[in-house]
Amino acid sequence: MTIENKIVAITGAGRGIGRATAVHLAARGAHVVLGARSELEIAAVARQIEASGGKAAYRVTDVTRREDLADLVGLACDRFGRLDVICNNAGIGPISRFDALRVDDWDAMIDVNLKGVLHGIAAALPVFERQGAGHVVNVISTAGVKIVPTMGVYAATKNAVRTATEALRQESGPNLRVTEVSPGFIDTTFADSGIADPGIRAAIQKRREALAISPDAIARAIAFAIEQPNGVEIGSIVVRPTAQD
């Protein structure tokens, strides 16, 4: 049971859960390949990891572009010789009521939260097939477990990923592991991700202050799934604050 020397590509790695996961896995000896839209952010994460003695590479990655995911996976293979895990973490949450008719936001969540994960899977599967091994980790959300107002489209994208993840697991055979991780209320910049309604934004921020837990909790859960021995698959993990209803 080890993470040391595993090659892990992570999307949305510049902040929040992605950043925490990259730092934690690198501290455990993984070689991490960071993707995000902000070069400034992922460069800073890579420098932090390398300053602590870890190994990191990065590439600007927009998950809505298939070629960007192919390039991120290619960077892992070119730099480290293989890819052991892809962590599809990038996501956005410009939530709103349906009657606000923020259709562009709906489209953006579909493109990032759903299609972005599919692009990551499509980029990684051929590599995993050649290697005869690999691990897909998809970060979902408890928003898809308990449906609440304003979260309709966001939760729909997350539940679409949940469905795709389960189908992939059933198709995967003995050499591909598939894990879904559903975070609850995590202390991230979710409320800053384009929520237009000031009331909704304030409610999210208030709830975050009241009960959110560190993204490190999700990083540890992802590490737990990755470190299992060959032949052991952690299919689903839900991590949320004990106070979350």
> What does the DSSP assignment read for 146-194?
S--TT-HHHHHHHHHHHHHHHHHHHHS-TTEEEEEEEE-SBSSSGGGSS
Q: What is the pTM of this model?
A: 0.96
Residue 151: count of CB within 10 angstroms of its CB: 19
Quote the pLDDT of residue 218.
98
Quote the pLDDT of residue 191.
65
Residue 199 has pLDDT above 80, yes or no: yes
Is residue 219 a contact partner of residue 137, using CB atoms and an 8 Å limit?
no
Quick: pLDDT tens for 43-77.
999 999 999 999 999 999 999 999 999 999 999 99
Residue 192 has pLDDT above 80, yes or no: no
Q: Give the active site residue among 154, 156, 162, 213.
A: 154
Identify the helix (H) or strand (E) that includes residue 238: strand 236-239
Is residue 76 a contact partner of residue 7, using CB atoms and an 8 Å limit?
yes
Of 74-78, 113-117, 146-150, 157-161, which gets the smallest average pLDDT? 146-150
- pLDDT bin (cut points 50, 70, 90) of residue 189 is confident
Residue 193 has pLDDT above 70, yes or no: no
Quote the pLDDT of residue 245.
84
Is residue 215 a contact partner of residue 186, using CB atoms and an 8 Å limit?
yes
Domains of the chain: 7-90+117-146+161-184+216-239 (3.40.50.720)
SS3 211: helix
Quote the pLDDT of residue 113.
98
Q: How far apart are CA 141 and CA 46, in angstroms?
A: 26
Q: Does the annotation count 58 as an active-site position?
A: no
